[in-house]
């Protein structure tokens, strides 16, 4: 059957396709569209060899080098723009990608944003970049869909759980603020749904798990499952900065040592905790189930998946 007879919606571009989110999105897309309808972009294309062998279009692209981008975008109809990790300077990267996509005739940009984006007075510095990017995409004249992803359950299960279990305690500035912890699997599934279905243009979706958690309660579940104590030490924002200082984490993104051991800054984490504490993430949505056709994963199921990685 020719592509058109299958109701082909044109080629789909996935940026950052060698990253965790992009790789998972590419795999799921292959279950729904022919490989030749995929355009997978990465700075490190060798990581995408298996997709190239299946017939996907694998192309070199560097958001810091706009001259590479137009050729990379050629023939694309829809683009999954996965936010880059460079908090503070990524809006420029995202803008380069959208301008190149528009110049090559891409019609629709699906962007991975953050829950609580655009709420007045949201203190999260992570959110500032996402909001600026959402506004830039809307002003581009292209159709857009913003996927406002909550805190990843996988991050709770690994980056939060493992050090807390090793130390037996964890400082926390999020207080009793509520957050609908979501599996990255569900964030990927809703992205693929939006890219392969009609009817999602110019909409923003809250991508959440099925239940609200306080971070202390989430850590209590980790502690119970591991059979090891984790004492939560409530701290204010300055106390949280001091904790990250003690781990050698730069406070601001601009202070990160290039190629250093810690590629993130504490400012993002501390203000994220503040944002939870002040209620900016206290929302549960049914968007995941509505668009993917299946209920979102629970925190417990994701903790069970990663439990084998915890200290014995």
Instruction: List the chain pLDDT tens, one digit each, 312 residues.
Output: 333 434 457 899 999 999 999 999 999 999 999 999 999 999 999 999 999 999 999 999 999 999 999 999 999 999 999 998 877 779 999 999 999 999 999 999 999 999 999 899 999 998 999 999 999 999 999 999 999 999 999 999 999 999 999 999 999 999 999 999 999 999 999 999 999 999 999 999 999 999 999 999 999 999 999 999 999 999 999 999 999 998 888 998 778 777 777 777 899 899 999 999 999 999 999 999 999 999 999 999 999 999 999 998
**Which residues have a Cβ under 8 Å from the Cβ of 217 and sit 6 or more positions away?**
none
Secondary structure in 3-state letters for 35-70: HHHEEEEECCHHHHHHHHHHCCEEEECCCCCHHHHH
Residue 8 has what pLDDT?
58
Q: Does an H or E element contain 4, and which?
A: none
The 10 Å Cβ neighbour count of residue 71 is 12
DSSP string, 222-278: HHHHHTS--EEEE--HHHHHHHHHHTT--SSGGGPPTT-S--S-HHHHHHHHHHHHT
Gap between the Cα atoms of 275 and 240, Å rounded: 14
Full-model pTM:
0.94
pLDDT value, residue 6: 43
Cα separation, 214 vs 183, in Å, equals 16
At residue 166, the pLDDT reads 96
Is 236 buried (19+), middle (13-18) or exposed (0-12) by CB count in 10 A?
Answer: middle
SS3 (DSSP) at 27: helix
Q: What pLDDT is attached to residue 7?
A: 47
Beta strands 143-149 and 169-172: pairing type? unpaired
């Amino acid at each position: 059957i020719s592509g058109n007879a299958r109701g082909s919606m044109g080629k789909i571009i996935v940026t950052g396709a060698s990253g965790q989110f992009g790789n998972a999105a590419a795999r799921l897309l292959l279950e729904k569209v022919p490989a030749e309808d995929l355009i997978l972009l990465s700075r490190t294309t060798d990581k995408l060899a298996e997709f190239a062998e299946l017939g996907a279009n694998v192309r070199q692209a560097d958001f810091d080098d706009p001259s590479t981008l137009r050729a990379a975008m050629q023939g694309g109809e829809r683009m999954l723009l996965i936010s880059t990790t460079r908090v503070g300077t990524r809006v420029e990267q995202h803008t380069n990608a959208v301008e190149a996509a528009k110049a090559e005739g891409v019609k629709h940009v699906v962007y991975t944003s953050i829950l609580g984006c655009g709420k007045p007075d949201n203190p999260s510095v992570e959110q500032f970049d996402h909001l600026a990017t959402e506004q830039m995409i809307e002003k581009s004249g292209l159709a857009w869909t913003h996927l406002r992803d909550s805190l990843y359950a996988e991050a709770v299960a690994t980056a939060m759980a493992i050090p807390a279990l090793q130390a037996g305690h964890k400082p926390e500035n999020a207080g009793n603020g509520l957050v609908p912890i979501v599996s990255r699997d569900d964030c990927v599934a809703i992205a693929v749904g939006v890219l392969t279905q009609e009817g999602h243009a110019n909409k923003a979706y809250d991508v959440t798990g099925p239940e609200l958690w306080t971070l202390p309660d989430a850590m209590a579940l980790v502690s119970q499952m591991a059979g090891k104590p984790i004492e939560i030490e409530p701290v204010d924002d300055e106390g949280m900065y001091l904790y990250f200082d003690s781990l050698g984490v730069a406070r601001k993104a601009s202070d990160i040592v290039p190629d250093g051991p810690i590629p993130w800054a504490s400012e993002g984490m501390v203000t994220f905790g503040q944002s939870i504490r002040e209620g900016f993430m206290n929302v549960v949505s049914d968007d995941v189930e509505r668009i993917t056709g299946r209920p979102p994963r629970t925190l417990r199921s994701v903790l069970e998946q990663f439990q084998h990685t915890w200290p014995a």
